[in-house]
Amino acid sequence: MLLAGEDENADVELSQAQATLGTLTCGLTIGLVVQSLIAPDSLPTSEQITEALNLVRAIGLISGQTGCGLS
């Protein structure tokens, strides 16, 4: 049984989780694209993926938006 306000909290948590997932997916995609352009015969290292994710997070924070800064 949900108490008043719990449903709203669940909605907020879901929105935050979706935004985080969007940011991570976008960062991974950017990292893989950049890596494929630089060295198409090798897979990106975990450090390269982390750097791409951090860059996308920073862009999201700067622009005040989530994901790739498009939403």
Greatest alpha-carbon pair distance for the chain in Å reads 55
Higher-confidence residue of 41 and 63: namely 41
Whether the CB-CB separation of 26 and 66 falls below 8 Å is answered with no
Q: What per-residue confidence (pLDDT) applies to 17?
A: 76
**Residue 37: which domain range?**
5-63
Confidence of residue 70 (pLDDT cuts 50, 70, 90): very low
Domain assignment present for residue 70? The answer is: no
**Residue 71: band (very low, low, confident or very high) from pLDDT cuts 50, 70, 90:** very low
Q: Pinpoint the alpha helices (H) of the chain.
A: 6-38, 46-63
29, part of any domain: yes
Q: Of 30, 15, 21, which Cα lies nearest the Cα of 67?
A: 21
Q: How many domains does the chain have?
A: 1
Q: Is residue 42 one of the residues assigned to a domain?
A: yes
Nearest to 22 by CA among 61, 66, 59: 66
CA distance 60 to 16: 13
